[in-house]
Amino acid sequence: MSVAPRTDGVLVDRYGRVARDLRVSLTDKCNLRCTYCMPAEGLPWLAGPELLSDEEIVRLVRVAVERLGVTEVRFTGGEPLIRPGLVGIVAAVAALDPRPRISLTTNGIGLDRLAPALRTAGLDRVNVSLDTLDPGRFTQLTRRPRLDAVLAGLAGAAAAGLSPVKINSVLMRGVNEDEAPALLRFAVEHDYQLRIIEQMPLDAQHGWDRSTMVTADEILTSLRTRFDLSPDPAERGAAPAETWLVDGGPARVGVIASVTRPFCGDCDRTRLTADGQVRACLFATDESDLRAALRGGADDDDLAGRWRTAMWGKRAGHGIDDPTFLQPTRPMSAIGG
């Protein structure tokens, strides 16, 4: 094994993993306040000049695609739909050569209005976060009465031809832990693909508790009370979701067991925060400041080299179960979920 990062080519780390999937946070702000993500009062948001401009984002994505072998670009946040320049950013990234696949993770509010323009700009796929179908629970969970807007966003995404439309759900004990079968029924009926994610220690309030987390095993047990789940013959690759065929298929459901069955050994991700920091992992405790380099006049080769060095230092795993585990100082909404 070599002991130093390569000076050219792809984003490889010392364990041989190659990062081809780039997550870009477009903003740390959000129009919801999901209890597992941020406090009711919000967070101290990044100031305007700290955020990368649209041009800076496109330049860094171009470096990743042209020089570092990135083939997938996912925009996230915070809530990416509230970034004014989103459609233009998607269009500019879709014009890159080679063209990466482009996706979006969103809470869906406003997606009904924006989906056609995003599709035309080159967006390929979308993941909409939805944890409950009950309006009261939705308001309790997100602290905003916006369930109808999210449902409209899902329908608008499908109508605009974004495919597949995936739903991301997080189950919380005592809140919506009984809702897995209802969410799957809804997804199957609308031809959306459901993925249920174990809650991770990434909330700004540090309220996560391993002992009360709803585990993948519990999620599967709950789904099996209503559905027959059989292993999906499709290759999993670096995908975080373990998938099952629902009642023989073709519908599928995914469970992302980030905590109880970590998939760090197959991780192919690299992350760029809204203020231009490269992170090798959601749980990384260090960042590499590409914004400072970029604003200091670094050329594309220099930026690519810094990115490679940052990824070379990626740790083997997130270590949530280690006694020495430290939750990252930035919450998920600031890193980009």
Decide: is 332 part of the binding site for ligand SAM (CB under 6 A): yes
Q: Pick from 13, 21, 28, 79 the residue near ligand SAM by CB under 6 A.
A: 79
Q: DSSP 3-state helix, strand, coil percentages of the chain (rounded to 5)? A: 35, 15, 50
The answer to whether 105 is a known ligand-binding residue is yes
Q: Is 261 annotated as a binding residue?
A: no
Q: Which residues contact 40 (CB under 8 A, 6 or more apart)?
A: 33, 143
Q: How many residues are listed for the chain in this entry?
A: 337
Work out which of 27, 35, 103, 105 binds ligand SAM, going by CB under 6 A.
105
Q: What are phi and psi of 311, to 5 degrees?
A: -75, -30
271 is in an annotated binding site: yes
1 is in an annotated binding site: no
Does residue 203 touch ligand SAM according to CB under 6 A?
A: yes
CB 181 within 8 A of CB 142: no
Is residue 233 within 8 Å of 250, Cβ to Cβ?
no
Question: How many residues form the binding site for ligand SAM (CB under 6 A)?
Answer: 20
Q: Footprint of ligand SAM on residues 269-288 (CB under 6 A)?
A: none
The DSSP output letter for 81 is G
Q: Which of 73, 184, 202, 229 binds ligand SAM (CB under 6 A)?
A: 202
Coil, helix or strand at residue 59: helix
Nearer to ligand SF4, 21 or 79 (CB): 79
Which of ligand SF4, ligand SAM, none sits in contact with 100, Cβ below 5 to 8 A by type? none
Q: Could you tell me the smallest distance in angstroms from the CB atom of residue 189 to ligand SAM?
A: 21
Stretch that binds ligand SAM, among 181-189, 194-202, 277-285, 293-301 (CB under 6 A): 194-202
Task: Give the range of 30-38, 154-162, 275-283, 320-328 binding ligand SAM by CB under 6 A.
Answer: 30-38
**Between residues 12 and 111, which has the closer beta carbon with respect to ligand SF4?**
111
**Is residue 107 involved in binding ligand SAM (CB under 6 A)?**
yes
**64-67, long-range: CB within 8 Å, 24+ apart, which pairs?**
64/11, 64/22, 64/270, 64/272, 64/307, 65/93, 65/96, 65/98, 65/100, 66/96, 66/97, 66/300, 67/300, 67/301, 67/304
Which of ligand SF4, ligand SAM, none binds 200 (CB below 5-8 Å, type-dependent)? ligand SAM
Encoded one letter per residue, x for contact with ligand SAM by CB under 6 A and - for no contact, window 125-164 reads: ----x-----------------------------------
Measure the N-to-C terminal CA separation of the chain; round to a whole number of Å: 31
The number of beta carbons lying within 10 Å of the beta carbon of residue 16 is 8
In DSSP terms, 23 is beta-bridged to 74, 271
27: contact with ligand SAM by CB under 6 A: no
Shortest distance, CB of residue 131 to ligand SF4, whole angstroms?
9
Beta strand extents in 182-312 (DSSP E only): 193-197, 229-231, 242-246, 252-256, 269-272, 277-279, 288-289
Distance of CA 335 to the CA centre of its chain: 10
Looking at this protein, which amino acid is placed at residue 111? L
Residue numbers in the known binding site for [4Fe-4S] cluster are 30, 34, 37, 264, 267, 281
Residue numbers in the known binding site for S-adenosyl-L-methionine are 36, 78, 129, 200
* Residues in contact with ligand SAM by the rule CB under 6 A: 30, 36-37, 76-77, 79, 105-107, 129, 168, 170, 197, 199-200, 202-203, 332-333, 337
